Amino acid sequence: MKKTQTIKLVLVSLSVAAAFLASSGCRHAAKAPSIYDESSELPVVYPDYVETTFPPNIAPANFMIEEDAQDYVVRLTGADGAVVCVSGKKAIFPEKQWRKLLNANRGGKIAVDVFVKKDGKWLKYKTFENDVSNDPTDAYLAYRLIEPGYDYGHRIALAQRHVENFDEQLFFDNRNTASSPCVNCHSFQDRKTDRFLFHYRRTDDPIHGGTIVVNGRQAVKLSGKVDVDGINCTYPSWRPSGDLVAFSANYTRQFFHSLSSQKLEVFDAFSDLVLMDAAKNEIRVIAKTDDEFETFPYWAPDGNTLYYCSAHVVPNTTQDSPEVRVEEMVKRATDLRYNIYKMSFDESTLTFGTPELVVDAASQGRSALFPRISPDGKWLVYTLAESGTFSIWRPEADLYLLNLETGDVRAWDEVNGGDSDSYHSWSSSGRWLVFSSRREDGQYTRLYLTHVDENGVATKPFVIPQRDPEHNRRRYKSYNVPEMIVEPIKIDYRELVKTAKEEPLGTKNL
Amino acid sequence: MQETLASAPTMANRRKRVFTQETLTSLAFFLFLWYFWGVRYGDYLFAAQENSIFLYDYEYFSRWLQVPEGLLCYATSFLMQFFYFPILGGAILAALTIAGQILMARLAELKGVARLTSFLPGAFVAVSSTWPAYYVYIPYEQPLIFSESLAILVALGGFALYRAFENKRWRSLLGVALVVVLYPLVGFWGFFATALCCAWELARLLSGWKERDVRKVALGGVVLLALGAILAPLFWHWESFYLSIKSNDVFLRGLLEDVRYDKSSLVARVAYGGAALAPLTILIVLFVARTIACRPKKAPSARRVARQEERYRARIVAKENKRKARENDSKRKGKSETRSDPLAGLSEEEKRARFERERERARVRLVWELLVVLAAFVFLAAYHTKSFFIVLKQTRALAVEDWEEILRVEANDLFPINPEIQMRNLALFYTGQLTERAFERPVGGLATLPVTGYDYGRALHGNLLCKFKVKLFTLRRDTEQCAERVLCELLYCYWGQTNIAARIATNNLIASEDRSASFLRTLAIAAMVNGEDKLARRYLRTLSQTLFYRDWAAVRLAYLETPGFYEGVRDYHDDEAFGELLKKRQEERPRAASDEDAAKRYGVDVDEIRNVAATVLRMRELRPVVDYTTTRGYPNLVFLYQLAKEEEFDESPRDRQDIILISALMQKKKDFFLEHIEPILKKEYPNGGAPKAYEQGYATWRFQAFGRDKWKDCDYKFSPETIELFEQFADYIVAVQGVSGTSSDEVQEVLRNSCRGMYWGYASDESVFNHY
């Protein structure tokens, strides 16, 4: 063979290999078998997209059939008779056809037939139906990607996901800075991306630590230091309008259990509430008490009430020696039980009213956390755990629903799973709620979406779809602090990186 | 005369002989490398593949592509999975190296002695790939350690392809394509390939082989390639480097991307930074060698020729005389023979032919000698202590739970270091010998001295080579410190400390970018022991997609389905809610009807499932009885210390009580030991015959408390052996009294050699433990 022929052969082979690789993800439409046996059982599919409700604008709910067989066919049928049919163990639906099917069946149902071929014969499982809601969900989700780890924060990224397709973009990655700091607690103003903030800190680099506040396409880093406690602003909540952000300032530590499915305990040695004017870079103390550990502030939709959690503790040590306090709180961490309170707010004087008890969990020996009010102000969803402040590590943590108009409260059983159900966020319409849950394996949080009707009844939650249904099994990262947003992040990612590398502006304490 | 002429070197048979020599040297070096990698560093390869993973799915592939050199690491990971069988792994690495060597020799047209330079990259790669030493256990992107072997081949292949194109336009296009494609795929090595192309074009240009217009095109091509080589990485890293472009980063980042956490460390700088600079070295070597090889040969001076001829004449004469002497010996033993000049009577032409043949032989001999020197260099430059290789062997045995092998290997080391003893203690426990043999070795458990204070010192004072290496690089000290972390998560796991194990393994998994079979395996075991079947299934599913861990995973997946899976799962300390939750989970989970049923579902042997179940049950028994808190960070590897929670002694199963007692001995917790050992001796060994560690530990405390005369006055009947040993020891103490203290090294040595359990029990000086 001549040299040129050899070269051509190599090039052709490479092209074929490239074409094969490029086409490996493609699926072709399939045809459902006409002759088959029928089973009365529902198929076992992963993720569990059986008899749930989808928003009309959700990405294709691809799933895999958890069974070994010779061949597989999945058929989706709309009320109008429209059919989408795919083959393979992984049912991956073409995006265009999926969208068309959902739009055509808004307010209706989609029937799902699963066929498997075993020993040369087709078997059809019991048909199940998924509802398509009339209410679209917010198009974007912002969350933190973090290993459910322990004491390393090697790679932490803030990401946004377009839920109408599978696009996931990192809008901040701690790898792009020198010291891989912790990046946490992102908070958006009224679910829009013009104004948001997140923390950027590392214990061994106090110089560059701070809170990055985004305003339009500009960002600035503020120290966010609370002089009175000597600690930083921690859990934030933007007031729906204006420049004010309520923070809790927490002295947070963690320790590890030697025997428990809850391997990690995060606790506060002390915490207080502060109010920051993000434009003026000023902080004023809202609540500074030694025997109340206030945390997790959250503004009501009208911006005139601040909800927050607080645990009543009478410490034997003072805040002046934080590490001594930590030692005490390590022993008392599981005794910390939080209630939910609210305070009225006067914007003109920047003053808060007297705290009012909203959820009394401590008296029942439990801990109520993460109050989130629906946009219509009717519902308050919170997490209830046995104790402590970090419910994500508490397997028994469940979501509870409080009707703020009637005061009725109930465990949200239709939503709760077998493991920690924790951080949650309402959509702008108040019809969808995203929350993180460890129900899949007790370790890695995944994001679930549920539809909530006007009576507070939720549908069976479903995990946010991925292009490859196995993606969530492969990804050894947790989806943390999900927040629904109505638009994509606008600020240039490089602007954020640049800001992160700057020294923070000292925050003025009033 | 006819015969002599026929044997004279013609062009044809010379080419044939050179070809044979070239093949032989390559083959010899291949065999050497095969031995080096497959046998000498076989366990090293195994450890490296344990800390990497290769999955047969698109997502795994696409994740690699997200980083520079991703494809290279992907391909290397694919090859690394075969390191599971080190002989095969060694063959792969040797084959890659030799392929690169042959390609390099051909491209640079290296002949004769100059051809030896083509062996250098392989030699340097072998040395640099083994220098990370214990870091092979530390979460890095392991493929990076071995990727150079493949990368050299890829880069030279790209260059060979480029050279094969005669058409200048096609060649220019291919050059640009090489820049654009190779950099994202193989990172820095893409730049290296294009640099080769540039240099080749320049060489052609300068030698004036082509016409003027061709020169222009070639010059343009060079400029284009050079620009491309700079712009492609910039383009690729635009997002990352937009804000802080550093020229060195642009090219080094590819290689260092995934070891960035430690890139400022000495190891990273030496092992990875050095590797990154290796292409430049190779480039220089390649072209210097080529220049030498292609340099027109000057006619040697008459004086030199005469000297050479004199030398060859002497050799020929000596050889001829030797041959004749042999013949004479066989024919007429003892009779002397007149030595004659074998060249006498030959024509000038025939003499020249003989001289030529002798020159060829000398050259070949030089090649082989240099090759041996090179092999020796590789061997010595990659020097590691004996302990290092023993730890490698032990960890390999631990991976397959071969406890006997761990003990056997460790027994060969007179100076075991900390990890060796840790693994030995574990093996002793799992073979039921801990209480009998816990103190046979000089160090162990809590009192294990750090390797850097023991082995390092020994290296400095005892071994010149090691001393040289330490002094030069201080690399060993850094890496030896890592010995403390070798498989510590797995060891914790086997001691029942599953939460600590999971914490460390999770940290390591994070650092290894989720690409480690070893950490996934530990996490799976920890989850199984904890009764977290869903979590265990997640890790096992990943492992079941690998080529060589799928059987291991299949057995465990089947075990998760067995009816007895939840047997012995320790309840969740005092939290009722957790307990209820666990019960609920257990009830909800559908199980196989029997072990056989589970085995059938997964196509595995039921006995294997039962073996797994037995080990898991044992580990569950070792789990802490009460919950206690630990702080963050890496605990040191004092497993037994961690287990010695005195308050839970009474509630613990007997196995665990043994561990706590041994731990108490090691920690010199005299009161605790005495309090618990006396009832045990009384109840279980009323007539004596307790395990040596117990008996002699007890004897030691009594000896110390009551002195030589009264130490035996108790209910327990000490064995004659123990009594004799203590008498001897008492004599010894009397003899050395006033010379050295009882806690001196010498006394400790005597104790260690004579009495099991006494060694740690006797000394009252706690200072040795202070650093813990």
* Tens of pLDDT, residues A198-225: 998 876 677 778 899 999 889 999 988 8
CA pair distance B121, B101, nearest whole angstrom: 8
Place of tokens 């002694």: B649
B59: closest chain A residue by CA:
A471
CA pair distance A211, B118, nearest whole angstrom: 55
C-beta atoms surrounding B218 within 10 Å = 21
Sign of CA dihedral B620, B625, B628, B633: negative
CA pair distance A382, B189, nearest whole angstrom: 54
- Mean pLDDT, residues A226-232: 78
Radius of gyration for the alpha carbons in chain B, expressed in angstroms and rounded? 34
CA pair distance B693, B438, nearest whole angstrom: 6
CA pair distance A210, A199, nearest whole angstrom: 6
**Paired tokens of A247:** 């923070």
pLDDT of amino acid A403: 96
pLDDT of amino acid B249: 37
Tell me the shortest Cα–Cα distance from B535 to chain A, in angstroms. 5
Instruction: Evaluate if residue B352 carries a pLDDT over 50.
Output: yes
Higher pLDDT, A356 or B632: A356
Radius of gyration for the alpha carbons in chain A, expressed in angstroms and rounded? 25
Best residue in A89, A152, A326, A471 for a mutation probing chain B (most B CBs within 10 Å): A152
Instruction: Evaluate if residue A19 carries a pLDDT over 60.
Output: no
Of A24, A154, A440, the CB nearest to B510: A154
Q: Which span out of A42-51, B20-29, B228-237 was modeled with the highest average pLDDT?
A: A42-51
B530: closest chain A residue by CA:
A261
Least trusted range by pLDDT, from B332-336, B391-395, B613-617, B661-665: B332-336
**Paired tokens of A358:** 């909203």
pLDDT of amino acid B396: 94
A21: closest chain B residue by CA:
B58
pLDDT of amino acid B345: 74
User: A448 phi and psi, to 5 degrees?
Assistant: -120, 145
DSSP class per residue in B446-482: GGPPPHHHHHHHHHHHH-HHHHHHHHHH-HHHHHHHG
Of B243, B500, B577, the CB nearest to A497: B243
CA pair distance B250, B247, nearest whole angstrom: 5
CA pair distance A266, A255, nearest whole angstrom: 7
Give me the percent of chain B exceeding a pLDDT of 70: 66
Give the largest CA-CA distance in chain B.
108
Which residues are within 8 A (CB) of B365 and not within 5 positions of it... i.e. 6 or more apart? none
CA pair distance A428, A193, nearest whole angstrom: 13
Per the CB < 8 Å rule, is B499 touching A260? yes
Give me the percent of chain A exceeding a pLDDT of 90: 60
DSSP class per residue in A310-332: EEE---SS-TTSHHHHHHHHHHH
- CATH 2.120.10.30 domain residues, chain A: 140-509
Instruction: Evaluate if residue B447 carries a pLDDT over 50.
Output: no
A157 strand-pairing partners? A145, A173
Instruction: Evaluate if residue B457 carries a pLDDT over 90.
Output: no
| CA B340, chain centre distance (Å) | 59
- CATH 2.60.40.3760 domain residues, chain A: 37-132
Tell me the shortest Cα–Cα distance from A361 to chain B, in angstroms. 16
pLDDT band for B643, please (50, 70, 90 cuts): low
Higher pLDDT, A179 or A364: A364
pLDDT of amino acid B553: 96
- Mean pLDDT, residues B547-552: 94
Q: Which CATH class is domain A37-132?
A: mainly beta
Which residues are within 8 A (CB) of B326 and not within 5 positions of it... i.e. 6 or more apart? none
pLDDT band for A11, please (50, 70, 90 cuts): low
Query: Contacts of residue A256 in chain B, CB cutoff 8 Å?
Result: 499-500, 503, 629-632
Higher pLDDT, B313 or B761: B313
pLDDT band for B752, please (50, 70, 90 cuts): low
pLDDT of amino acid B723: 87
Options 2.120.10.30, 3.40.1390.10, 3.40.50.300, 3.30.1490.20; CATH for A140-509 is 2.120.10.30
Give me the total of CB pairs closer than 8 Å, taking one residue from chain A and one from chain B.
138
Q: Which span out of B462-471, B481-490, B655-664 was modeled with the highest average pLDDT?
A: B655-664
pLDDT of amino acid B213: 55
B39 strand-pairing partners? none
> What tens digit of pLDDT does each residue of A63-78 get?
999 988 999 999 999 9
Quote the mean pLDDT of chain B: 74
A386: closest chain B residue by CA:
B577
Query: Contacts of residue B623 in chain A, CB cutoff 8 Å?
Result: 259
Best residue in B54, B56, B59 for a mutation probing chain A (most A CBs within 10 Å): B59
Higher pLDDT, B419 or A192: A192
Question: Is B690:B682 a contact under the CB 8 Å cutoff?
Answer: no
Per the CB < 8 Å rule, is A396 touching B578? yes
A495: closest chain B residue by CA:
B243
Instruction: Evaluate if residue A31 carries a pLDDT over 90.
Output: no
Quote the mean pLDDT of chain A: 88
> What tens digit of pLDDT does each residue of A450-464 get?
999 999 999 999 999
B42 strand-pairing partners? none
- Mean pLDDT, residues B214-228: 62
pLDDT of amino acid B6: 45
Instruction: Evaluate if residue B285 carries a pLDDT over 80.
Output: no
Can you list the positions of beta strands (E) in B598-660?
629-630
Instruction: Evaluate if residue B132 carries a pLDDT over 50.
Output: yes
Query: Contacts of residue B578 in chain A, CB cutoff 8 Å?
Result: 260-262, 395-396
pLDDT of amino acid A438: 92
Question: Is B479:B132 a contact under the CB 8 Å cutoff?
Answer: yes
pLDDT band for B748, please (50, 70, 90 cuts): low
**Paired tokens of A383:** 């997490």
**Paired tokens of A409:** 């409260």
**Paired tokens of B132:** 């990370």
3-state class of B700 per DSSP? helix
Give me the percent of chain A exceeding a pLDDT of 70: 91
Per the CB < 8 Å rule, is B510 touching A155? yes
Closest among B384, B464, B373, B368 to B40, alpha carbons compared: B384
B516: closest chain A residue by CA:
A476
Q: For chain B, what are the domain ranges?
A: 2-294, 386-486, 489-622, 693-769
pLDDT of amino acid A90: 93
Higher pLDDT, B171 or B296: B171
pLDDT of amino acid B193: 79
CA pair distance B76, B73, nearest whole angstrom: 5
Place of tokens 């799973």: A417
Higher pLDDT, B322 or A285: A285
ipTM for this prediction: 0.89
Higher pLDDT, B195 or B254: B195
pLDDT of amino acid B763: 41
**Paired tokens of A273:** 């509430």
Best residue in B578, B619, B652 for a mutation probing chain A (most A CBs within 10 Å): B578
CA pair distance B769, A256, nearest whole angstrom: 25
Query: Contacts of residue B164 in chain A, CB cutoff 8 Å?
Result: 3-4, 7
pLDDT of amino acid B263: 39
Tell me the shortest Cα–Cα distance from B86 to chain A, in angstroms. 28
Query: Contacts of residue B537 in chain A, CB cutoff 8 Å?
Result: 441
CA pair distance A253, B639, nearest whole angstrom: 25
Eight-class DSSP state of A475? -
pLDDT of amino acid B467: 47
Tell me the shortest Cα–Cα distance from A473 to chain B, in angstroms. 6
Give me the percent of chain B exceeding a pLDDT of 90: 18
Per the CB < 8 Å rule, is A442 touching B261? no
pLDDT of amino acid B239: 44
Query: Contacts of residue A24 in chain B, CB cutoff 8 Å?
Result: 58
Sign of CA dihedral A144, A145, A150, A153: negative
Q: Is A301 exposed, middle or buried (0-12, 13-18, 19+ CB in 10 A)?
A: middle
Eight-class DSSP state of A60? P
Which amino acid, B129?
S
pLDDT of amino acid B16: 57
Higher pLDDT, B43 or B459: B43
Cα torsion A435, A157, A46, A54 to 10°: value is 50
